Amino acid sequence: NAGVMQNPRHLVRRRGQEARLRCSPMKGHSHVYWYRQLPEEGLKFMVYLQKENIIDESGMPKERFSAEFPKEGPSILRIQQVVRGDSAAYFCASSPTRGQKNEQFFGPGTRLTVL
Amino acid sequence: DAKTTQPTSMDCAEGRAANLPCNHSTISGNEYVYWYRQIHSQGPQYIIHGLKNNETNEMASLIITEDRKSSTLILPHATLRDTAVYYCIVRVAANNNDMRFGAGTRLTVKP
């Protein structure tokens, strides 16, 4: 059973370009979460999605950031008109269903560098 | 903000037990204590979680005080590969919304 997959692992963009980060959850998992980690800091929650629905986006910046988890295919975190402050590691996690043992399984992350 | 307090860093000798403390004095009755770790540049890895009873798995043991205001993660025989940042998180298990990561404890296992 493959783990959570993220691609690309490294992404370089110039200011003003768009960044698209992809996350494929573990097989059978219908819940996806995105976190951002700035250098030397802990992970910060961004958004929680189920298939075709955004459940909680309280951690998402109000502008330029969007996320989706379509019925088919991976979850996408999209950052429009990137700025240098968007440089960070972006981690995706997935979990199966609600319940007592619902630990989140994390992917390897995408490291975004904005030049 | 994270609901937990952890020491910034700790050292441990290889082969010895590593005891990582966590204070969560405002924990609610339905909140679990979760531990994750993040080895350099990798995604966080789940270690263990518990509600009020002590828990043990193949990776670690979790000791939760009777009043549940603090807990200790124990790595019984630390190896160099256990060097990582360890995060203690409290959350309601039934809520999948998010986990609040604090700064964690940077554990360095030394030969």
Convert the pLDDT of each residue in B6-39 to its tens digit.
Answer: 999 999 999 999 999 999 999 988 888 999 999 9
The answer to whether residue B1 scores a pLDDT higher than 60 is no
pLDDT at B33: 92
Nearest Cα residue to B70 out of B12, B4, B10, B19: B4
Are A48 and B96 an interchain contact pair (Cβ–Cβ within 8 Å)?
yes
Are A100 and B93 an interchain contact pair (Cβ–Cβ within 8 Å)?
yes
C-alpha B33/C-alpha B90 separation (Å) is 5
Average pLDDT of every residue of chain B: 91
Which of B91, B97, B98, B105 to probe the A interface (max A CBs under 10 A)?
B98
C-alpha B12/C-alpha B14 separation (Å) is 6
pLDDT at B103: 86
pLDDT at A52: 87
Nearest Cα residue to A34 out of A115, A112, A101: A112
pLDDT at A102: 63
Q: How many CB atoms lie within 10 A of CB B1?
A: 5
Report yes or no: B93 and B50 within 8 Å, Cβ to Cβ: no
Q: CA of B47: which chain A residue's CA is closest?
A: A103
Q: How far is B38 from chain A (nearest CA, A)?
A: 10
pLDDT at B98: 67
Are A45 and B99 an interchain contact pair (Cβ–Cβ within 8 Å)?
yes
pLDDT at B97: 62
| Residues paired with A62 in a beta bridge | none
Nearest Cα residue to A26 out of A3, A52, A54, A58: A3
pLDDT at B40: 86
Per-residue pLDDT of chain A (115 residues; tens, 9 = 90+): 579 999 999 999 999 999 999 999 998 888 899 999 998 888 999 999 988 899 889 899 999 999 999 988 999 999 999 999 999 999 999 988 654 456 788 999 999 999 9
Q: Tell me: the pLDDT tens digits for B61-71? A: 999 999 999 99
- Among the partner residues B45, B49, B98, nearest to A56 by beta-carbon distance: B98
- Among the partner residues A56, A105, A107, nearest to B97 by beta-carbon distance: A56
Distances (CA, A) of A27 to A46, A101, B18: 22, 17, 34
Interface residue B55 vs chain A (CB under 8 A) = no
* A40 Rama class: left (phi>0) / alpha (psi -120 to 50) / beta: left
